[in-house]
Structure 1
Amino acid sequence: MDCARLLPYADAVAVVDAALRQGIDRDALIEELDLGRRRPGNVLARQAVNFGDARAESAGESRSRVVIAQLGLPMPDLQREFFNHKGEVEARVDFDWEDYGMCGEFDGEAKYGRLRRAELSVEEVVLFEKQREERLREHGRWTVRWVNATVKQPELLRRVIENGFRNAAATSRRRWR
């Protein structure tokens, strides 16, 4: 909670998300805040705890969610799984807007950069992602992607998401006519 009190809000949310993901109980975090109720930054830290979500798998996803909320965009479901006819997971997405027929992916450095699995080339990762997007289209999802630089420019993230909503709606109308 010391970090959540001191960091900017989006970073505090990332810390809270990580704590929740590791199994720390939200009530325990609130209890800790109650013990230090007069400490500077406590109000913002409490907001971060209330907004926190254990399903966010990276700081980039957490920061994206904060910006999405600040922009007043519809909030997505996190880590949504899509199943094939055998009931097996064939795709999982960072963000899903079911009502809009769209999903979003925060592409961090780990996917394509220095932290990707050593046994896969960048080309193999890109091919896998293309095949995954095709499977998502079969589930009626338009996919948009963004990176950390996009999150740092909220209006750019708004444009990416809103364009995705429009394209998903247009694709959906064409498909069923």
Structure 2
Amino acid sequence: MAAMDAALHRGTVTPDEIEEVLVRCWNWPSIRRAQRALGLADGRAESPLESVSRLVIGWLRLPAPELQAVVLDRDGRAAGRLDFYWDEWGVAGEADGRGKYTNVGVIVAEKDRQEHLENHGLVFARWGCTDATRHPRSVKQRILNAYERGRARDRSGLPREWSVQLTKAATRREDVITNPVARQLGGKT
């Protein structure tokens, strides 16, 4: 599924093109697994860890999140894009690969982004590759704890000072190239 997510994300194939290949390979070993993977594939995933995390979230029987939601701050400016978002609780989920944080500037920018969004009331749950692959129940507990913090915020009467623009799954090459959200965030889809 992660390979399909990546191919869809890059716009190199469409779900229909993958399905055509799967139909032609109807008698190959493990073809049913590939067919199930296509049913779960989503071009909004930006990394293998996001793909794995989506599978883990489903396996843990947690509500399905929105993917790659763009958060707008109280002034209506794009403040960032979230790997996962649960609107019911006002919770963001971030699957953090270690390769992203080898540069101090990237670390500082990520911390600043999260602090900015937390100041608007958004609650975060973060996990890494080891959590998702070896300790999935810790991912569940982090997400459930974030849900509870979101409920506490809502019960306290603190306003949600952000809004969200949802992105659709890129299913055609044109979707990836002309995605207005990508343009607004500097071309990163």
TM-score range, shorter chain: 0.7 to 0.9
Q: Taking every aligned residue pair, what percent have the same amino acid on both sides?
A: 36
2:108 is matched with 127
Runs of 5+ consecutive residues of structure 2 not aligned to the other structure? 160-189
2:123 is matched with 142
Contact kept in structure 1, 2:73 and 2:117, CA below 8 Å: no
Contact kept in structure 2, 1:140 and 1:172, CA below 8 Å: no
Q: Does 1:93 align with 2:75?
A: no
Q: Does 1:17 align with 2:17?
A: no
Q: RCO (CA 8 Å, sep 6+): is it higher in 1 or 2?
A: 2
Give deviations 1:39-96, integer Å, cap 9, x for gaps.
1111111111111010000000000001101111101111111124554311111110
2:95 is matched with 106
Query: How many pairs were matched up?
Result: 157
In structure 1, what residue type is equivalent to 2:58? A
Distance 2:93 2:126 in 1: 6
1:155 counterpart (137, 155, 163): 137
Closer, same or farther: CA 85–71 of 1 in aligned 2, 3 Å: closer
Structure 2 residue matching 1:143: 3-state secondary structure: strand
Structure 1 residue matching 2:63: 3-state secondary structure: coil
Distance 1:136 1:38 in 2: 50
Q: CA deviation at 1:21?
A: 0.9
Mapping of residues 48-87 of structure 1, within 5 Å: 48-84=37-73, 87=76
Distance 2:42 2:59 in 1: 16
Distance 1:133 1:84 in 2: 12
Q: CA deviation at 1:28?
A: 0.8
Runs of 5+ consecutive residues of structure 1 not aligned to the other structure? 1-12, 117-121
Distance 1:69 1:170 in 2: 25
Q: CA deviation at 1:35?
A: 0.7
Q: CA deviation at 1:109?
A: 1.6
Provide the aligned C-alpha RMSD in A. 1.8
Distance 1:52 1:138 in 2: 33
2:21 is matched with 32
In structure 2, what residue type is equivalent to 1:68? I
Q: CA deviation at 1:110?
A: 2.5
